[in-house]
């Protein structure tokens, strides 16, 4: 049987039967307003802490009080992890199948992945990956020195990254990986720009925004805003880049002197004063340092540690010493490649072999939603099922006037980086855009209008997940046709709601895969087919995804839990399941056109500033122990 034929006939049938077959489904309506997030009460936390202390003699209290910054301590991490499981168990009032299941199969690996190497060592788990770090200096219209790069050349590099399937990662993602071995995208690359040239602001920053690539920026504080032959960006420009959420500012000393030539006192001054000034100007903790000319001494390394830096970037004028971040000696001497070696450097990029490790397991959810992380695509295979997942950014839906391929609707959605086909639609007219059930989209010819759908049909959708999106949060609540029938009614559930629609069913709910019963009478939920879905991962990031091979709904839910999803809603299955990323469909077939998508937009820059501290650290380590 050819894949295409099987899909078309089966799926068509599915959609025809969809509305009718769910009659009486009423799944989960009891759990009236079970939201995406929950937070343990202080009492529950206190109670569990007590259990944790008394039952685990090995476990300390994991005290991070009095230190607002992340302290990576192996025992603390395990303590926190055990504590979290206990808290979750207590709240759920039954064992958490996810975590218990994992502990029986990959327990040692899992625990180890939560155990960072002793600072400033690079974890053995990070040694199989290779992150090439590219070092740029000035970006200028006319080349002055050999290491200057013209904007066209820089864009060619960015295009090569995009076309080659590379994922530029942030400094935080890289350092977390080097410490713990946490999973990386397939071909990770880190872009760095040194010396704060105005040309970097003028040419590189707009390109970073265009491609949604994160980068690190090394700033020598005495030169900020200065003119001359090679003018430097101002504090306002640095603040603008920092607020974009894409640029991580690193200290590059005050005076840009080679630390090898300085006295201990001078080194201390260069290291601490630059940090203080940048922190004051940006209003945020600075964690990274870049050695002028790449040279460092033991004293310099000690001073950096003392000042509270988490990692330092080096470089060498000798190309034979250039190597990937993972092959560097430790976090205080991370090596880079000069941009002239771009091609050979990126060719080595590899996310490494991290079997059994989920990229998300090192972070325990605190139940919040996070719209501040860059959008990134990953292809993963879990229990033999290949998946394409796109994480991060903000969420919006688009309701097109006619049906189209998802990649076409993506181009109609301002700023959108990726999209997956969304809610139910009527099959009757192939060029129609009519949805089944209520729909409201921020991108639509009826933007912001709540279209209630067919009153007769809507009760058939009762109990399915009603998806509500606002600029700051996401809710999945059981749909009730009698109640959720107007803009006022959905505003009562989420006050600044911008998007609403009904999904096919919950695949994952509060971190648990959903059993067959939860799908009620959803037609074909147990059939093996292609499936599209979206949800929230354990770190609070939005996620859209498609299966690259066919599977049933219950099996998919179990796999999505392993992929780190906290909540996941099935959107579609069969012939119209489709996902597009940066203009291109990722599907191996041509899906049936659809009228509605869930899209990921670039991260929220305002919230990014407020939340950066939280982003840097596993959530469990941020908790202040009373
Ligand atoms: Zn420099």
Position 270 confidence tier, pLDDT thresholds 50, 70, 90? very high
**How large is the angle between the packed helices 553-562 and 97-113, nearest 10 degrees?**
30
**Predicted confidence (pLDDT) per residue in 434-461, tens digit:** 888 999 999 999 998 999 988 888 998 8
Q: Is the pLDDT of residue 255 over 90?
A: yes
Query: 373 C-alpha to center of ligand 1: Å?
Result: 28
What would you measure as the largest C-alpha separation in the chain, in angstroms?
A: 81
Q: Is residue 46 part of a domain?
A: no
Query: 345 C-alpha to center of ligand 1: Å?
Result: 20
Query: 214 C-alpha to center of ligand 1: Å?
Result: 19
Query: 341 C-alpha to center of ligand 1: Å?
Result: 18
- As a whole number, the mean pLDDT across the chain is 79
Which range is least confidently modeled, 72-86, 207-221, 446-460, 489-503? 72-86
Structure confidence at residue 605 (pLDDT): 65
Please name which of 352, 343, 338, 419 lies closest in space to residue 585, comparing C-alpha atoms: 419
Q: Is residue 87 part of a domain?
A: yes
Among candidate residues 95, 115, 135, the one where a domain is terminated: 115
Query: 137 C-alpha to center of ligand 1: Å?
Result: 8
Query: 258 C-alpha to center of ligand 1: Å?
Result: 9
Judge contact between 166 and 346, C-beta under 8 A: yes
Average pLDDT over residues 595-619: 61
Structure confidence at residue 425 (pLDDT): 76
Judge contact between 109 and 357, C-beta under 8 A: yes
Together in a domain, 12 and 78: no
Query: 145 C-alpha to center of ligand 1: Å?
Result: 14
Query: 257 C-alpha to center of ligand 1: Å?
Result: 9
Position 62 confidence tier, pLDDT thresholds 50, 70, 90? very low
Together in a domain, 285 and 414: no
Burial 337-373 (b: 16+ CB within 10 A, else e): bbbebbeebbebbbbbebeebbbbbbbbbbbebbbbb
Q: What is the pTM of this model?
A: 0.54
**Count of residues in the chain:** 626
Position 76 confidence tier, pLDDT thresholds 50, 70, 90? very low
Query: 91 C-alpha to center of ligand 1: Å?
Result: 51
Q: Is the pLDDT of residue 520 over 70?
A: yes
Please name which of 578, 566, 599 lies closest in space to residue 476, comparing C-alpha atoms: 566
Q: Is the pLDDT of residue 362 over 60?
A: no
Q: Is the pLDDT of residue 263 over 90?
A: yes
Can you tell me the distance from the alpha carbon of 453 to that of 137, in angstroms, rounded to the nearest whole number? 56
**Predicted confidence (pLDDT) per residue in 109-146, tens digit:** 344 455 678 899 999 889 999 999 999 999 999 988 88
Can you tell me the distance from the alpha carbon of 531 to that of 548, in angstroms, rounded to the nearest whole number? 8
Together in a domain, 111 and 128: no
**Predicted confidence (pLDDT) per residue in 320-333, tens digit:** 899 999 999 999 99
Q: Provide the token pair at 125.
A: 């788990």
Percentages of the chain per state (helix, strand, coil), in multiples of 5: 35, 20, 45
Give Cβ neighbours of residue 318 (< 8 Å, ≥ 6 apart).
none
Structure confidence at residue 606 (pLDDT): 52
Judge contact between 308 and 69, C-beta under 8 A: yes
Q: What is the DSSP string of 573-589?
A: ESTT--EEETTEE--SS
Query: 611 C-alpha to center of ligand 1: Å?
Result: 29
Q: Is the pLDDT of residue 29 over 70?
A: no
What stretches of 392-498 adopt beta strand conformation (E)?
394-404, 418-421, 439-440, 443-444, 465-469, 474-478
Structure confidence at residue 311 (pLDDT): 97
Q: Is the pLDDT of residue 164 over 60?
A: yes
Together in a domain, 90 and 190: no
Query: 472 C-alpha to center of ligand 1: Å?
Result: 38
DSSP secondary structure letter of residue 594: E
Judge contact between 421 and 605, C-beta under 8 A: no
- Peptide bond preceding 120 in cis form (omega within 30 of 0): yes
Can you tell me the distance from the alpha carbon of 83 to that of 273, in angstroms, rounded to the nearest whole number? 38
Structure confidence at residue 77 (pLDDT): 45
Tell me the backbone φ, ψ of residue 59, rounded to 5 degrees.
-90, 130
Query: 286 C-alpha to center of ligand 1: Å?
Result: 17
Domain that holds residue 26: 3-38+367-605
Together in a domain, 478 and 601: yes
Please name which of 483, 528, 525 lies closest in space to residue 505, comparing C-alpha atoms: 525
Q: Is residue 361 part of a domain?
A: no
Query: 346 C-alpha to center of ligand 1: Å?
Result: 22
Position 531 confidence tier, pLDDT thresholds 50, 70, 90? very high
Q: Is residue 448 part of a domain?
A: yes
Query: 180 C-alpha to center of ligand 1: Å?
Result: 29
Query: 191 C-alpha to center of ligand 1: Å?
Result: 15
Give Cβ neighbours of residue 469 (< 8 Å, ≥ 6 apart).
395, 396, 397, 497, 498, 499, 500
Position 511 confidence tier, pLDDT thresholds 50, 70, 90? confident
Position 562 confidence tier, pLDDT thresholds 50, 70, 90? confident
Query: 148 C-alpha to center of ligand 1: Å?
Result: 13
Together in a domain, 105 and 172: no
Q: Is residue 457 part of a domain?
A: yes
Position 427 confidence tier, pLDDT thresholds 50, 70, 90? low
Q: Is residue 354 part of a domain?
A: no
Q: How many domains would you assign to the chain?
A: 3
Pairing of the two strands 443-444 and 499-502? unpaired
Together in a domain, 434 and 579: yes
Structure confidence at residue 298 (pLDDT): 93
Among candidate residues 292, 315, 347, the one where a domain is terminated: 347
Query: 181 C-alpha to center of ligand 1: Å?
Result: 29
Query: 132 C-alpha to center of ligand 1: Å?
Result: 19
**Predicted confidence (pLDDT) per residue in 165-183, tens digit:** 899 999 999 998 999 888 7
**How large is the angle between the packed helices 605-616 and 235-243, nearest 10 degrees?**
80
Query: 315 C-alpha to center of ligand 1: Å?
Result: 10
Query: 293 C-alpha to center of ligand 1: Å?
Result: 6
Among candidate residues 316, 347, 378, the one where a domain is terminated: 347
Which range is least confidently modeled, 102-111, 274-283, 411-420? 102-111
Structure confidence at residue 307 (pLDDT): 96
Judge contact between 586 and 411, C-beta under 8 A: no
Together in a domain, 552 and 586: yes
Q: Is the pLDDT of residue 23 over 60?
A: no
Taking CA atoms, 460 is separated from 4, 221, 293, 457, 476, in Å, by 29, 63, 67, 6, 18
Query: 486 C-alpha to center of ligand 1: Å?
Result: 58
Q: Provide the token pair at 566.
A: 């906290």
Structure confidence at residue 539 (pLDDT): 83
Query: 321 C-alpha to center of ligand 1: Å?
Result: 18
Together in a domain, 144 and 237: yes
Q: Is residue 292 part of a domain?
A: yes
Question: CB-hemisphere CA count at 13 Å for 129?
Answer: 29
Position 86 confidence tier, pLDDT thresholds 50, 70, 90? very low
Together in a domain, 330 and 378: no
Can you tell me the distance from the alpha carbon of 535 to that of 565, in angstroms, rounded to the nearest whole number? 7
SS3 59: coil
Q: Provide the token pair at 440.
A: 């409201």
Query: 291 C-alpha to center of ligand 1: Å?
Result: 7
Query: 263 C-alpha to center of ligand 1: Å?
Result: 19
Structure confidence at residue 368 (pLDDT): 83
Structure confidence at residue 134 (pLDDT): 98
Q: Is residue 619 part of a domain?
A: no
The CATH number assigned to the domain holding 269 equals: 3.20.20.370
Query: 295 C-alpha to center of ligand 1: Å?
Result: 11
Together in a domain, 429 and 329: no
Q: Is the pLDDT of residue 310 over 90?
A: yes
Structure confidence at residue 186 (pLDDT): 84
Burial 29-54 (b: 16+ CB within 10 A, else e): eeeeebbbbeebeeeebeebbeebee
Q: Provide the token pair at 470.
A: 């606002």
Q: Is the pLDDT of residue 611 over 80?
A: no
Together in a domain, 170 and 229: yes
Structure confidence at residue 25 (pLDDT): 30
Query: 195 C-alpha to center of ligand 1: Å?
Result: 5
Structure confidence at residue 9 (pLDDT): 39
Counting DSSP H helices and E strands in the chain, the numbers are 17, 25
Query: 196 C-alpha to center of ligand 1: Å?
Result: 9
């Amino acid at each position: 049987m050819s894949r295409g034929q099987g899909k078309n006939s089966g799926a068509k049938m599915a959609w025809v039967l969809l509305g009718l077959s769910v009659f009486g489904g009423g799944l989960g309506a009891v759990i009236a307003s079970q939201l995406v997030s929950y937070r343990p009460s202080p009492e529950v936390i206190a109670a569990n802490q007590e259990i944790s202390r008394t039952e685990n003699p090995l476990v300390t209290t994991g005290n991070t009080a009095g230190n607002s910054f992340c302290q990576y301590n192996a025992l603390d991490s395990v303590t926190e992890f055990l504590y979290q499981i206990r808290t979750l168990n207590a709240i759920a009032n039954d064992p958490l199948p996810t975590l218990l299941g994992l502990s029986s199969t990959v327990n040692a690996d899992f625990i180890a992945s939560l155990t960072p190497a002793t600072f400033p060592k690079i974890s053995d788990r990070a040694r199989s990956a290779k992150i090439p770090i590219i070092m740029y200096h000035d970006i200028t219209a006319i080349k002055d020195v050999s290491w200057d790069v013209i904007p066209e050349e820089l864009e060619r590099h960015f295009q090569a990254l995009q076309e080659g399937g590379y994922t530029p990662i942030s400094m935080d993602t890289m350092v977390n990986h080097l410490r713990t071995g946490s999973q990386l995208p397939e071909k990770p690359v880190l872009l760095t720009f040194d010396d704060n040239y105005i040309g970097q602001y003028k040419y590189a920053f707009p390109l970073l925004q265009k491609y949604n690539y994160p980068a690190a920026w090394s700033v020598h504080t005495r030169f900020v805003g200065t003119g001359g032959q090679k003018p430097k960006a101002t504090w306002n420009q640095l603040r603008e880049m920092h607020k974009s959420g894409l640029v991580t500012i690193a200290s590059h000393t005050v005076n840009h002197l080679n630390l090898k030539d300085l006295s201990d006192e001078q080194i201390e001054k260069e290291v601490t004063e630059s940090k203080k000034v940048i922190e004051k100007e940006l209003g945020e903790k600075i964690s990274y340092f870049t050695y002028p000319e790449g040279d460092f001494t033991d004293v310099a390394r000690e001073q950096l540690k003392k000042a509270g830096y988490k990692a330092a970037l080096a470089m060498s004028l000798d190309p034979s010493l250039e190597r990937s971040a993972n092959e560097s000696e430790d976090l205080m001497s991370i090596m880079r490649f000069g941009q002239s070696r771009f091609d050979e450097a990126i060719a080595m990029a590899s996310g490494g072999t991290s079997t059994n490790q989920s990229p998300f397991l090192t972070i325990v959810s605190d139940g919040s939603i996070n719209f501040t992380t860059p959008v990134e695509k990953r292809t993963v295979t879990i229990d033999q099922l290949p998946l394409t997942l796109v994480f991060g950014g903000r969420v919006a839906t688009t309701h097109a006037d006619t049906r189209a391929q998802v990649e076409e609707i993506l181009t109609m959605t301002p700023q959108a980086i990726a999209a997956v086909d969304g809610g139910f639609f009527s099959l009757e007219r192939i060029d129609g855009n009519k949805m089944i059930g209520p729909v409201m989209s921020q991108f639509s010819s009826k933007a912001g209008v709540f279209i209630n759908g067919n009153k007769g049909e809507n009760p058939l959708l009762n109990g399915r997940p009603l998806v509500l999106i606002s600029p700051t949060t996401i809710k999945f609540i059981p749909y009730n046709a009698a109640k959720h029938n107007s803009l006022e009614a959905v505003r009562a559930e989420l006050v600044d709601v911008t998007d609403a629609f009904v999904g096919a069913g919950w695949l994952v709910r509060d971190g648990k895969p959903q059993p067959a019963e939860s799908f009620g009478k959803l037609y074909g939920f147990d059939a093996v087919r292609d499936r599209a879905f979206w949800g929230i991962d354990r770190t609070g990031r939005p996620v859209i995804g498609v299966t690259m091979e066919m599977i049933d709904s219950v099996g998919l839910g179990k796999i999505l839990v392993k992929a780190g999803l906290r909540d996941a809603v099935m959107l579609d299955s069969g012939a119209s399941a489709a996902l597009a990323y940066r203009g291109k469909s990722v599907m191996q077939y041509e899906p049936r056109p659809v009228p509605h998508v869930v899209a990921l937009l670039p991260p929220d820059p305002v919230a990014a500033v407020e939340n950066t501290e939280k982003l840097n650290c596993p959530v469990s380590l941020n908790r202040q122990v009373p």
